[in-house]
Structure 1
Amino acid sequence: MNTMVTNLVSRFLPCSLRARLLLLVFVAVIPALALILYTDRDQRRMAEEDAREHLVRLSQVINDENKLLVQGARQLLTVLANLPAVREQNVTACNALMAGIAKEYRQYVDLGAVEPNGVRFCGGDSILADSINFPESHWFHKTLQTRDFTIGNYQVARLTRRAVLPLAYPSVDEAGKIRAVVFAVLDLEWLKVMAAGSALPKGSTVTIADDRGLILAHHPGGEPWIGKSIAGTSVDRALRTGPEGLHSLEGVDHIRRFAVFSSLGGRGESGTVHLILSTPEDEVFAEAHRILRRNLSWLALVGFAVFAAAWFGGDFFVVRQVNSLLTTARRIAGGDLKARTGVSYASGELGQLARSFDEMAGSLEARQEETIRAEAKARENGRLAAIGATAASITHEIANPLTGMYATVQFLERQLSELDGINADALRGDVENLRDEIDRLRALLQDLRSFVRSGQLDLKSISLREIAAEILTMERHNHNERRIEADLDFSASLPRVMADKQKLKQVLLNLCKNAADAMPEGGKLKLRAFQNGNEIVVEVKDSGPGIPEEVNVFELFTTTKSQGLGLGLAIARQIVAAHGGEISYTSEPNKGTAFRLTIPLTTADSPQRSVTT
């Protein structure tokens, strides 16, 4: 099941490691984006609530102001109705009175008194004086009937195209007879003044409309709107379906707005008069939008920085290391076991993986090298075994005739020693030359025998320092003749080793002779030994011309000298290898050659034994 889920997810995820890192960064940014959007939603909700409270509060203020104006007009009309100038229909006094009041209170566009038959007798200076038909006015007849304060209907004056509200109060004498009706006409321009003084958001509107949808007043820019209808618009539908609360709608100016509705004191010509306050949604959400843009800008900036850090940092800290691992894995798969990752082993999973990978590659390389050495050793042993068998057969076939020849030469030397004369001297010289050649052949046969028997060891506890001292003593005459300065640097505390004394002496003697042969005009020879861990290292260094790079002196039948079969160093390597050690050399042209052999340390008190390898 888990494998199926993993495969399914892998199919839809990007294959690139860098792309997956960027996807993780993107996923990490999503909660921040969600938080910003959630915060924006809360801020919009709070802005919407603030707009509702502000509009409702302003609506209440306007209603209260309207009530105060109506109440003030009632008080004024009550006082005027009881004045003698009105009750007695004193035109001159009444006109003067009305003119003074109208000058003092600008909210009244018309102020005067009317006889019960509807004929005006006072206050005719207003531009509305001739536009009011009192006998046909419903509010005038209602005043006569109720004999009380009457509020008329909001209406649009025909001449001024301004919304007005007529108010009336009867003037009754002591006998209870109506002598006159005093009236006042309120101009809704006060709404514009109040709206201008309120802290309305930019683009807000204040509208008064009747039940038919006719606009009675509008702020700002009222005159073009007065008399127009909102019937059929989203404002009208919201007004009729549910006037309570905050409404989101398209205004008559085709701008999305928040609006609140309330009823204004008084009635219009067709019923209830509605107060509509609205403000553009863009203005309500302006601060929320600003904060959202700011937060999104910061998120984009931070996101870009994080993406850049993930891109370059991921490349530096992850992708390069992984690519190095992949490259190394491909090289190893191709057979290059020397390949390594090159990744730092610092703390961290990739460092640990690189360490384990390199250790694995090192282990594989060591195994391969060990296998190659084992195969090479097996081939070499087989070859040497075949050569040894051949050498043994040749030695056996040649040794017997050579022994007879050597005996014959000795007999001839004895016979010639008794003869005198020139011929006898010439014969003795020939016989001596023959004996020298036979001695040379016998030495070559002895080398062959040594090669065949180089793996046979008689192990004993020996001192390498004593062997080296014996060799220098043996070769002292030869060194003196060739002006060679020999130096022995073996510590007195050098541990003893379990080895075949004669075989190791043969190896060191061969190295010393080769060094002396490399310095026919004299030079320096140094023998040095020291302990290195669990082995003894012996160095034989000369100051001769060096060994050419193309020559492998350990190969059978390879020599740099004019005489000899080239078996000496091959035999030395066989002997050292039989002891479990190694022999190698370094050489520099015109500076000399240094042979270095290592012998493993074993307990000197170990029992003596013979070993055949």
Structure 2
Amino acid sequence: MWGIMAKWFSGLHVRLVLLVLLASLPALTLTIYSDREQRKLAEANVEQEILQLSQLATINQETFVENTRVFLVALSHMPAVRSTDLTECQELFSHLFTEHYPQFASFYVADLDAHVVCSAPNTHVPSRLRECEHYAMMVANQDYVVSNYHICESSGEAIMAMGYPVYDYEDNFIRVINISIDLTWLNELAAQVDLPDGATLAVFDHKGNYLTHYPEPEKWTGKPLVEGSPFYPLFSQGKGALVAQDDDGIQRIYATTPMESSRGSVTVIMSVPTSVAYAEANRITTRSLTFLITATLLAAAAAFLLAEVLVMRQTRALLQTTKQLAAGDLSARTTISPDAGELGQLAYSFDQMAAALEQREQERKKAEQAMREYATELERSNRELQDFANIASHDMQEPLRKIMNFSELLRERYDDIMEEAGRDYLVRMERASLHLYDLINELLVYSRINTNTQFFEQVDLNEITQHVLTDLELQIQESGASIEVSELPCLEADPTQMYQLVQNLVSNALKFREAGSQPMIKISSPEMPKAWGESNDMVSLTVSDNGIGFDEKYLDRIFQPFQRLHQSNEYEGTGIGLAICRKIIERHGGSITARSKPGQGTTFAVSLPASQN
């Protein structure tokens, strides 16, 4: 699944469309940020509305309280209220309530014994007036008294009571007049200020009891505020706003403010459905997102089409040409003009590269043909060389053996009659014959290194070295040589050629020494240096001596056939031993070098692969 998606997203069309989408992210972020700010502004508007409503209610309340005070003062001086006969008082209160003040919840006169002596009809009269806190305050203060909003124990309604003392004509305190109003006026005020659709308004006393609720005041008035209600946290903190769901699952913005006055304070909490409060923000956001999505889709479509016209056609041409080149058609070209922008320049460079590849391929084929011809010629030459070696082995060795046999007969039969000069000539002839015999054998060995070979197998250089030292035991004893052999490695090689390699190196160390000196020879295998992090698959072999040494400027010369640094009468040999060593090592994929100084000995260092994979 992820592979399919990765392949799909790797297309140039898709990537360009994604770039357009990414370019629209800042605008989308700005739209989302603007929406959040609009919602914050809507919440602030709800807070502002509840604050304005609270301020308006406070002003109305203070005005009503002051007007009521003036009304009570005037009423307390009327004869119908001050006289002992309260018949006119009853008629007066009934007229005032019915015609002018129907909003009064209670309207009565009580004596100092807590008896209601006059009241308006159809208004609330406390059944236990003596226990009423407001009545006790009126009697005790003998002045204008206004209570806080509270739930009346008798009626269960939320009311605010106002009272004033009544004096008789001798200025004796004889009665109190009380007027109470409920919070119906606040509901009416809420209706008048045109609250948002679905808005609610709740008023709580300092104990957290509902004083009123708009709408449906009768359902809530007098009930305590429960802790799980969305009103509860706002009531506790006294100010602020929050977004929560009500009991019906409707999400609302709740805002609160205290309604304070000289008579105390209550808490007013208003809620507005978020669908109403955020309506303008949602409208703006929807319009912005619609415009943004439309513009993004149009830009993506334009990018898709422009990519097809300006990029994809040229890209497909490049891709097709690349496939043709990969298939071996080096004559393929894009044919795109170099004036077609950056892709045109790329195509032009690509065509130049293809032309260069085609030319190099032609040159490579010519070189391969020349190499095949050279290999054929080399094979023919090697075959002729091998034939020559075979001829030399048969046709040259046979006359040479006769010369050597006849010289031996001459020595045996005519030694006593030959002069001294004749004997010297015979010795020289024998020595030259032996040298020629060794030279022919060495040439045969050299020519057969790459032809007359065994299969590679595991070879222990310790065993090879011991075999060589056993075969050279006579020369070692005659020279008095001291030979030190360290632990040597195992490798995959031709065992016969490994024997020839070690024998030639040790023989050289025994041969090339100062007259009368004791040869000191060391055969070892130091650890090969390797690059960090790489495994070492090479083994080493070194043969060091204390012989005559040589100048390292002749290093390449000593590994060439028949190249000698000394006269043959100084040191015996054919001059082909080190050439054989080098050819054996090259056949095994290794290398050989030497470190030396005249008179300070020589160290031959051989490096060979441990495995011939």
Deviation at 1:105, TM superposition (A): 2.4
Long gaps (5+) in structure 1 = 1-10, 376-613
CA–CA distance in structure 1, aligned partners of residues 127 and 256 of structure 2: 33
Matched, 1:324 2:332: no
Partner of 2:280: 287
Picking from 258, 263, 271, the partner of 1:262 is 258
Deviation at 1:311, TM superposition (A): 2.9
Partner of 1:351: 344
Partner of 2:296: 303
Picking from 95, 103, 128, the partner of 2:124 is 128
Report % sequence identity: 32
Deviation at 1:327, TM superposition (A): 0.9
Partner of 1:563: none
Equivalent position amino acid for 2:238 in 1: P
Partner of 1:117: 113
CA–CA distance in structure 1, aligned partners of residues 271 and 84 of structure 2: 47
- Aligned CA RMSD, in angstroms, stands at 3.4
Deviations 1:355-401 (CA, angstroms, capped at 9, x unpaired): 4434554676689899999x9xxxxxxxxxxxxxxxxxxxxxxxxxx
Matched, 1:336 2:329: yes
Long gaps (5+) in structure 2 = 1-5, 369-613
Picking from 202, 211, 231, the partner of 1:207 is 202
Contact kept in structure 2, 1:162 and 1:223, CA below 8 Å: no
Picking from 79, 89, 103, the partner of 1:94 is 89
Deviations 1:149-206 (CA, angstroms, capped at 9, x unpaired): 1123434457865422221111123543212211111121111110001132222222
Contact kept in structure 2, 1:266 and 1:273, CA below 8 Å: no
CA–CA distance in structure 2, aligned partners of residues 241 and 110 of structure 1: 32
Partner of 1:193: 188
Contact kept in structure 2, 1:109 and 1:186, CA below 8 Å: yes
Equivalent position amino acid for 2:223 in 1: K
Partner of 1:606: none
Contact kept in structure 1, 2:234 and 2:240, CA below 8 Å: no
Equivalent position amino acid for 1:170 in 2: P
Deviation at 1:62, TM superposition (A): 1.3
**Tell me, what secondary structure is at the counterpart of 2:255?**
strand
CA–CA distance in structure 2, aligned partners of residues 188 and 366 of structure 1: 103
Go from structure 1 to structure 2 and tell me whether the alpha carbon gap of 1:330 and 1:261 turns closer, same or farther (over 3 Å shift).
same
Equivalent position amino acid for 2:159 in 1: V
Equivalent position amino acid for 2:183 in 1: L
Go from structure 1 to structure 2 and tell me whether the alpha carbon gap of 1:126 and 1:132 turns closer, same or farther (over 3 Å shift).
farther
CA–CA distance in structure 1, aligned partners of residues 298 and 338 of structure 2: 28
**Structure 2 matches for 1:142-153, cutoff 5 A?**
142-153=137-148
**Tell me, what secondary structure is at the counterpart of 2:325?**
helix
Deviations 1:586-606 (CA, angstroms, capped at 9, x unpaired): xxxxxxxxxxxxxxxxxxxxx
Equivalent position amino acid for 1:294 in 2: R
Matched, 1:58 2:53: yes
How many pairs were matched up? 362
Go from structure 1 to structure 2 and tell me whether the alpha carbon gap of 1:342 and 1:95 turns closer, same or farther (over 3 Å shift).
farther
**Tell me, what secondary structure is at the counterpart of 1:20?**
helix
Partner of 2:37: 42
Equivalent position amino acid for 1:283 in 2: V
Deviations 1:550-569 (CA, angstroms, capped at 9, x unpaired): xxxxxxxxxxxxxxxxxxxx
Go from structure 1 to structure 2 and tell me whether the alpha carbon gap of 1:31 and 1:236 turns closer, same or farther (over 3 Å shift).
closer
Q: Structure 1 stretches (4+) deviating beyond 6 angstroms? A: 363-373
| TM-score normalised by length of structure 2 | 0.53
CA–CA distance in structure 1, aligned partners of residues 42 and 267 of structure 2: 25
Contact kept in structure 1, 2:187 and 2:214, CA below 8 Å: yes
**Tell me, what secondary structure is at the counterpart of 2:106?**
strand
Picking from 182, 186, 191, the partner of 2:177 is 182
CA–CA distance in structure 2, aligned partners of residues 186 and 311 of structure 1: 74
CA–CA distance in structure 1, aligned partners of residues 173 and 335 of structure 2: 116
| TM-score normalised by length of structure 1 | 0.53
**Tell me, what secondary structure is at the counterpart of 1:341?**
coil
CA–CA distance in structure 2, aligned partners of residues 32 and 346 of structure 1: 36
CA–CA distance in structure 1, aligned partners of residues 127 and 19 of structure 2: 79
Matched, 1:312 2:305: yes
CA–CA distance in structure 2, aligned partners of residues 177 and 160 of structure 1: 32
Contact kept in structure 1, 2:330 and 2:357, CA below 8 Å: yes
Equivalent position amino acid for 2:17 in 1: L
Contact kept in structure 2, 1:213 and 1:236, CA below 8 Å: no
Go from structure 1 to structure 2 and tell me whether the alpha carbon gap of 1:89 and 1:358 turns closer, same or farther (over 3 Å shift).
farther
Partner of 2:468: none
Deviations 1:225-274 (CA, angstroms, capped at 9, x unpaired): 2222213135564245421333445556654322113045487xxx9632
Contact kept in structure 2, 1:167 and 1:185, CA below 8 Å: yes
Equivalent position amino acid for 1:108 in 2: F
Equivalent position amino acid for 2:326 in 1: A
CA–CA distance in structure 2, aligned partners of residues 368 and 239 of structure 1: 86
